[in-house]
Amino acid sequence: MSPGWCAPHALMACRPATLDAQAHPARKAQPPKPPGRVIHSSAGIARFPGMNRLPGSIILLTRICITAGTPGPPEREKNGPEARGEMKVYLDGRILDAEEACLPLNDRGVLFGDGLFETIRAYRGSPFRLDRHLARLREGCRVLRISGIPGNDEIEEAIHALYRENVGEGDAYVRLTVTGGDFDGTRNLTRSSAPRFFIMVKPLEGYPPEFYGRGVRVTVSSVRRNSRSPLSRIKTNNYLEPLYAKQEAADRGYDDALFLNTEGYLAEGSTSNLFLVSGGTVKTPHADCGILPGITREAVLELCAELGLPAEEGFYALEDLKAAEEAFLTMTTGEIIPIREVDGFRLSGPCPGAVTSRLMRAYRDLVETEISA
């Protein structure tokens, strides 16, 4: 096992067995166990629960490794660089083995979720609308007062290099991440160090085909989007609200979740933007509803104008969605995914509907045109 290996769960330093016995007299020190996986940090070596514990004092971990993804289910066969532990990543100007790329544990991104990210789909290695993703990323940096991330040309070159190393053919998932840099004790947006910037590129794992053919079932999350928060409009590393909403959906037996905002209007999907089609008009929640201005959302509105489809941004209630003939979600990795059911209520039109199907085809045509240019 290479020295940069990281456990997929949270990092923690283990107490030596001798200290456990001192802290808990009734608990006897356990006999040695077979060697476990090891993390090398700038402070030394640490092992994880169920592995050998080291003699001596507690080890303090000071760095956390970046990995290109967590292992998939055992029955899923993967033969690419990720499965072989040969993934490359970009970190602060260098392309490294994923297992060698580390962040300090005092990074503000680790401690506070301070930072931003972008997810981009690269079609046959060409990142779709990269310039717009980078513009949104830089706007988020402006809001969080982060400066000093690489230029657009360097980022694009790194994406292409990682695609060649990690993917080679087909579509790819691209993740750009900015962190707030070292924490110096200042608990505001004042920063004393440069941000950290890393890129991961790996084969795209698409959504199930039935999502496109039959549509998805969604539920309304108990979480509300704060329409007055500037953070609702940028893609921050603090991603717990979408994760919480997705878990709610899974617990209820649904495919995904929708957010209302604090005023009770429709906002967006857990990781997507929302559209509905009513009376032939394509409608989507206004930016002032506390949504992330999605790149795919923007493309769909452009397509509506080109196709002569009436489109508007507005403030809509949940009842408006249930009364619509069609609805769909838009996202970078999944493109356009139709919705067939909301909290057990089946939308009245076919799924996917005529307008949704037309936009799905037009979007794929747009992608082909732009990446072939």
Q: Say if 10 falls within a structural domain.
A: no
Same-domain status, 214 and 199: no
Please state whether the peptide bond connecting residue 81 to the residue before it is cis, i.e. omega within 30 degrees of 0.
no
Q: Give 83-115 pLDDT, tens digit per residue.
A: 677 899 999 999 999 999 999 999 999 999 999
The mean of the pLDDT values for the chain is 85
CATH number of the domain within which 109 lies:
3.30.470.10
| Residue numbers of the domain that contains 47 | 17-65
Given this model, what pLDDT does residue 114 score? 97
Given this model, what pLDDT does residue 46 score? 35
Name which of 26-40, 119-133, 203-217, 293-307 the model is least confident about.
26-40
Given this model, what pLDDT does residue 69 score? 53
Enumerate the β-bridge partners of residue 276. 283, 327
CA–CA separation, 107 vs 25, rounded Å? 37
Q: Residue 24 pLDDT more than 50?
A: no
Same-domain status, 335 and 250: yes
Q: Which residues contact 52 (CB under 8 A, 6 or more apart)?
A: 32, 33, 34, 35, 36
- Counting the structural domains of the chain, the total is 3
Q: Give 208-244 pLDDT, tens digit per residue.
A: 999 999 999 999 999 999 999 999 999 999 999 999 9
Same-domain status, 229 and 346: yes
Given this model, what pLDDT does residue 86 score? 86
Give the residue-averaged pLDDT of 238-252.
97
CATH number of the domain within which 246 lies:
3.20.10.10
CB crowding 332-371: b at 16 or more within 10 Å, else e: bbbbbbbbbbbeeeebebebbbebbbebbebbeebbeeee
Task: Provide the CB-side half-sphere exposure for 310 (13 A, CA).
Answer: 5
Identify which of 338, 336, 279, 281 has the alpha carbon closest to the alpha carbon of residue 311: 281
